[in-house]
Amino acid sequence: MTTDLSVDADWNALYLDGEWTAGESDETIPVEDPSTRERFTEVPAATEADVDAAYEAAAAAQAEWAERPPAQRQAVVQQLLEAVHEYEAEIADLLAHEVGGSRIMGETSVKIASDHLSEAATLPRRMKGEHAESNIPGKENLVQREPKGVVTVISPWNFPLNLSMRAVAPAIAAGNSVVLKPSTNSPITGGLLFAKLFEETDLPDGVLNVVTGRGSDIGDRVASHPESDVVSFTGSTEVGQHVAGLAGENLAVPAMELGGNNAFVVTEDADLDRAIDGATFGSFVHQGQVCISINRHIVHESVYDEYVERLVDRAESLPAGSAHESDTVVGPIIDESQRDEMLGYVEETVDAGATLETGGETVSIEGVDDSLVVAPTVLSDVTNDMAAACNEHFGPIAPVIPFSDVDEAVEIANATEYGLSGAVHAGDLSVAKDVADRMETGNVHINDQPINDEAHVPFSGTKASGMGSYNSDAFLHEVTETKWISIQHEPREYPF
């Protein structure tokens, strides 16, 4: 039977030990379409008993799965990649309905998720140990790499498909089992969808378990479960600190990608055509709801006015509206609280002396009483301490800050608790490289924008933007551990 991944499918079940189950409670959580503001389905509100059942299944299944030959684990990941490709249209439609993802966002999500799957498929054959010489005569040292055990994945709502995939796929490929807890705002594309896709593969029962529920009800139990060996979390710094603390109580490894306040530096000799192209994409793709999107535009005073004028023109040209319209670039914000918070930042910034060049309001959608679409917004005369600049606004908002020299630009860029991503545009590559070297952030992109993710390149944040690393060998090391085995081939002499 063909897997049903449609919006109208039945999503009201947990996935525990290879079975779809109603769980312990009859309570459900509605899932609303941000474009239409209408409920289109509901998912279970799991209890702590359901969480315990998920970890029990994961722990019981892990050892046998880890013993599978690398080729078998690789084959499962490749089967999942084939399923993602087969259901690409259905996945994009789910992203549009659940998180307001435009066509561009849906296509990008599938592309990045596929990249992570392709990389994860290589990991089973890369779990290699090493041979080390010994200081003891006649001794041989072996270092083996083994899976940690049970990996907890707590995924976000903004890019739920690929940000879940980058943890789930490599964890399973390396021989771990997984308990996946998606965000309440994206329980399908960040959670239940994975269960249905894995049913298209030969993954044994219990290796993947999915529990949907409110963080206030089950979040602490998930983060602190004694069966968990690794906790992967993507989300805000405040919540991440709490999750990491709970994980630490059980000595589980915390892998955290947290908040960002990413700087986009434009020098006086930068190619403004390229800079504006990057600025437009980096600020407004998926409504700015990207941890690594541009939060602050830091522009040299000699090109500042032209930059602002051209960015305004581009912002006003972007189609904004329902995610279900094929030409929409800027779709809806995920919910009212996020929308109201970002518009509040804009109002505070204007009150503090900035100029609202365009946007700063919602865009009407026919038939919707309270639109969640925020118009692409550009603010000029901004300083680093204004609300839209010093906070992670997480919206289609572009505060533009002037600077007089490179030293000042670097100072402004680094004047934040975060250090996730960034970018610099400069005509002189040596200047660009110098700025990149001095920016206190985990990722910097020269003559590009900060939204980049390649599965074979390590991805990590600094300062309050997280701990641990994702992608390739970096995340493989998070979900595996080394074991030292020594062999004493000849009789050893002891001092007594």
**Which residues have a catalytic role annotated?**
257, 291
C-alpha to C-alpha distance for 285 and 266, rounded to whole angstroms: 19
Q: What is the DSSP string of 157-183?
A: SSSHHHHHHHHHHHHHHTT-EEEEE--
C-alpha to C-alpha distance for 441 and 422, rounded to whole angstroms: 7
Question: Measuring CA to CA, which residue among 65, 92, 237, 215 is closest to residue 154?
Answer: 215
Give the Cβ contact number of residue 291 at 10 Å. 27
Question: Measuring CA to CA, which residue among 7, 15, 14 is closest to residue 41?
Answer: 7
- Element containing residue 108 per DSSP (H, E): helix 103-120
Give the Cβ contact number of residue 130 at 10 Å. 10
Helix axes 103-120, 88-99, angle to 10 degrees: 120
C-alpha to C-alpha distance for 211 and 231, rounded to whole angstroms: 15
C-alpha to C-alpha distance for 313 and 317, rounded to whole angstroms: 6
Q: Which residues of 379-398 are buried (b: 16+ CB within 10 A; e: fewer)?
A: bbbbebebbbbbbbbbbbbb
